[in-house]
Structure 1
Amino acid sequence: MALEKETFAPQPETLRYINRVCDKHNLRQDIQLSTGIKSAHWEEGQRTGRFKDESGEQYRTRFSISCLGVLSSPTLPAIPGIENFKGQLFHTSRWPKPLKISRDFARKRIGVSGTGATGIQTITEEAKVPTIEFLKVFQRTPNWSAPLRNTESTAARMQEIKSKYDSTFKQCASTPTGFLHAADPCKSADVPQEERVALWEKLYSDPGFGKWLGAFKDTHTDHEANRLYSDFMAEKIRARVHDPVVAEQLIPKDHGPGLRRVPLENGYFEVYNDPKVHQVNLARHHSQLSLAGVYCWINRTP
């Protein structure tokens, strides 16, 4: 298998890996794609499950495993008059396959609704297009986010990882979340301010989910501990965004770091220093937008 290009694999590498697993184990003969299940019933007498798909075809099975997750069906924003929009309009979970940001977003006016994990990634990439007319970010609720610190992978690094498989799996099995990262055993109030900041700075500068999962053990269970960490993370955002008003709008006020999923980013906050990027505070403007996932619309330059 070819060398992975990045520590945290992008979509093409992840897809390549999935295809390799399917080919290696001859799994395609047992996979049926593009099939939406509309109903499922348990038949007690026969001890089987009965399923019906979108075309009306039925299936019976002795065993079934539901892996739908919470993101399988998008909820579109309830925007009055949206049906009259003349530009391109789509939910990111239904991204048009031929569409490429670097090529097709040039000389366009772009709007993105939502600043969750997907929105943060989408906004960061769209802001890189040098010829966009503007990018407007419609935000109802800001999310805590921290640097991913992705790096290029090397053959030596890959070999090091492979040599530690046993200890890596053992470490993951010992943590509550299944990640390598484990909370510091101390409580936030047990160490001086200098030591607290030193740990937070290390986590912030290291790659991966340590900013979420590696802080002090009471960070997500004690109000004061979470407030201290919130103050630290808020200062990081203020230092990265030049406009103090925009910076404050990007700092969550209704929850602390780690109390929801913490998206990781590559230069997200810096995009708001670009004069072509404008943030629209939906909470302040009392918008009626109902956001779930990320909705993106593109309009041509007149």
Structure 2
Amino acid sequence: MTDRTSDTLDLAPSADDLDALRDKYAAERDRRLRPDGAGQYRRAAGEFGYYAKDPYTPWTERQALTDRVEVLVVGAGFGGLVTAARLRQAGIDSLRLMDEAGDVGGTWYWNRYPGVHCDIESYVYMPLLEEVGTVPEWRYAPGEEIRRHAVAIAEAFDLYRDAVFQTRITELTWDDDAAEWIVNTDRGDRMRARFVVTSSGTLSQPKLPGIPGIESFRGHTFHTSRWDYGYTGGTPDGDLTGLADKKVAVIGTGATGLQVVPHVGRDAQHTFVFQRTPSTVDVRDNRRTDPDWAASLRPGWQKKRQDNFLAVVSGEDVDVDLTQDGWTSTPDLQRAMITGKLDPALTPQERERRDELLDAQKMDAIRARVDAVVDDPTIAEVLKPWYRYMCKRPGFSDTYLQTFNRENVTLVDAADHGGITRMTETGIVVGDTEYEVDCVIFATGFEVGVSGVLSGTMPVHGRDGRTLLEAWARGPETLHGFYSHGFPNLFQLGALQNANSVNFVHILQDQAEHIAAVVTAARQAGAGIVEPSEEAQREWTREVQESAFDNEQFQADCTPGYYNSEGKGRPNDFTYGPGPVEFHRVLEAWREEHLDEVLRVETEVCS
């Protein structure tokens, strides 16, 4: 069916319209609130550990390692890859990459489900394009193209040489006498490293819904991040011939569901889509890269485009928007969750009023698109999102809504029941209705914001045996989010007390360059220790807290999701409030003026 959506609305909502909209949003939020909050999910571990098993790379036995490297990078997603690449460029030869997966790629190693694409333009998302010498084939790259690019980075910078995969750290212990880390793993390794960089990511551990009776279902089940092509047939491009005679349930309608449902809906005998909260579904408009445009690119083109994208979505003043897509058209709306530059001419009340009006217009347009695309008005109503734009990560698709015009696709609204009621041996129950299915696909995403360091699954023992979690008992304390006093030569990548953006790979690139600069400075100065003072990390923690953008009420008003801990809310004082562009300026100035403050020449440098 043709998409009949107009791009703009003629009239802005009135005050009465906003009051009514707030009431509607509150009612829809309350329908979905659950007393257990994030406790409604369970880890893919223990009796459910098979959901996290790697289906892509056969297990390989190896001898335990007891050697020493100068730098160990934990995590082979884009954060770890770019960090390792920058360290290699800085002249570090003794470098090891480690990951639990069977190869590099991180999220893109795990996510190989049909239809998987990145929702950020590939020219700004995929790092080191110029260094590797490639231009993506698609504007919004499919997952396999992104995964192959991760492999290309590892090959270009010789990162496979000492890499170890299918390996998980079980303990990190600082050896003060040797000024290095002892690294124990689940493979029996007891290796040593002068520096350890953790980029173990927060999008690798699959998350399962805690549905009563989930263990009793006798049909086939799997998680989208461990897609079972042996059962479904086909490839990431689709053609799931194995589902032709199957009744299939897809649980989850977030970013993954938007991409999976069109393929399963087309190929399965019948598809049941179980929805608690609908996503926003804006136009994607993906297309192949214009070869003439690619040929016209000049050296430095990617950094220019990346910086422009980051500036636009952060609310910085720019002369031109080089990307011109759904993200760069909504920076004011993104400010509610990912902060940036604010208009000083407006009071906070005026700014909130303006942003709420813009938000209402955008969401009205998205809901109008549902009416324009979906034939059945009853189904269309269930698919309409009733919340502020950034309550959930915005979604984009040119095929998802259209799938609900198929006769073999059934949308099941589970909102009034707090989600799925239970599972039986043969199906899924919502309320008093059971839907018999042959296969259940969990499109329920990953554990977000919980790295191995933060969860305690990778215990870190610093000076005097004190653990990092003990040191952070009253809250995290770092300098710029990278390192903490009492834990020398340990660098962490991530958003904690650092910057954030919708294109987090750009943030990881900036973090990688910063870490490489600090390690290089330490080597040049003959410093055996990189460690911030207690005073420096206290000052930075205080600055992060004082500069934090107050979005507590915004999150409280949102429908439950991982942004607000399933309706429980969470403080926004874990990232730097003025935004990523300003944070990059802060880091540049610090490297010029204060970098030597974290360097201590008190021991010989390990060779």
TM, length-normalised to structure 1? 0.75
Q: Which residue of 2 aligns with 1:113?
A: 251
Q: Which runs of 5+ in 1 are unaligned?
A: 186-202, 291-296
What is the deviation of 1:45? 5.0
- Secondary structure of the residue that 2:326 maps to in structure 1? helix
Q: Which residue of 2 aligns with 1:170?
A: 304
CA distance in 1, matches of 2:324, 2:211: 35
Letter in 2 for 1:49: W
> 1:116-135: per-residue Cα shift (whole Å, max 9, x none)?
11111111221222xx2210
2:383 is equivalent to residue 250 of structure 1: yes
Greater RCO (CA < 8 Å, at least 6 residues apart) = 1
- Going from structure 1 to structure 2, the CA distance change for 1:266 and 1:66 (only over 3 Å counts) comes to farther
* 8 A contact 2:333–2:389 mirrored in 1: no
* 8 A contact 1:110–1:134 mirrored in 2: yes
Q: Which residue of 1 aligns with 2:106?
A: none
What is the deviation of 1:92? 1.0
What is the deviation of 1:78? 1.6
CA distance in 1, matches of 2:323, 2:211: 36
Q: Which residue of 2 aligns with 1:128?
A: 266
* 8 A contact 2:138–2:288 mirrored in 1: yes
- Secondary structure of the residue that 2:280 maps to in structure 1? coil
Please point out which of 104, 110, 114 is paired with 2:242.
104
CA distance in 2, matches of 1:289, 1:60: 49
What is the deviation of 1:237? 1.8
2:372 is equivalent to residue 239 of structure 1: yes
Please give the residue correspondences for 1:30-109 in structure 2 after superposition, counting only pairs within 5 Å: 30-96=162-228, 98=230, 99-100=233-234, 101-102=238-239, 103-109=241-247
- Going from structure 1 to structure 2, the CA distance change for 1:83 and 1:27 (only over 3 Å counts) comes to same
Q: Which residue of 2 aligns with 1:198?
A: none
Q: Which residue of 1 aligns with 2:283?
A: 147
CA distance in 2, matches of 1:133, 1:111: 11
* 8 A contact 1:6–1:153 mirrored in 2: yes
Count of aligned pairs between the two proteins: 268
Decide which structure has the larger Cα Rg and report it.
2
2:351 is equivalent to residue 213 of structure 1: no
CA distance in 1, matches of 2:314, 2:325: 8
* 8 A contact 2:169–2:185 mirrored in 1: yes
CA distance in 1, matches of 2:395, 2:163: 31
- Secondary structure of the residue that 2:412 maps to in structure 1? strand
- Going from structure 1 to structure 2, the CA distance change for 1:181 and 1:42 (only over 3 Å counts) comes to same
What is the deviation of 1:183? 5.4
* 8 A contact 2:243–2:269 mirrored in 1: no
Q: Which runs of 5+ in 2 are unaligned?
A: 1-132, 337-354, 423-435, 440-607
Higher mean alpha-carbon deviation, 70-79 vs 280-289, is at: 280-289
* 8 A contact 1:219–1:225 mirrored in 2: no
TM, length-normalised to structure 2? 0.40
* 8 A contact 2:180–2:192 mirrored in 1: yes
CA distance in 2, matches of 1:140, 1:208: 33
Please give the residue correspondences for 1:276-295 in structure 2 after superposition, counting only pairs within 5 Å: 276-288=408-420
Letter in 2 for 1:213: T
What is the deviation of 1:79? 2.0
Q: Which residue of 1 aligns with 2:438?
A: 299
* 8 A contact 1:229–1:257 mirrored in 2: yes
CA distance in 1, matches of 2:152, 2:174: 35
Identity of aligned residues (%): 25
Higher mean alpha-carbon deviation, 258-267 vs 134-143, is at: 258-267
- Secondary structure of the residue that 1:213 maps to in structure 2? coil
CA distance in 1, matches of 2:324, 2:257: 18
Letter in 1 for 2:256: T
Higher mean alpha-carbon deviation, 237-246 vs 40-49, is at: 40-49
CA distance in 2, matches of 1:281, 1:48: 54
What is the deviation of 1:25? 3.0
CA distance in 2, matches of 1:251, 1:209: 25
* 8 A contact 1:184–1:215 mirrored in 2: no
What is the deviation of 1:69? 2.4
What is the deviation of 1:43? 4.3
> 1:3-52: per-residue Cα shift (whole Å, max 9, x none)?
85422222232233233333333321132111122333444554433333
* 8 A contact 2:333–2:390 mirrored in 1: no
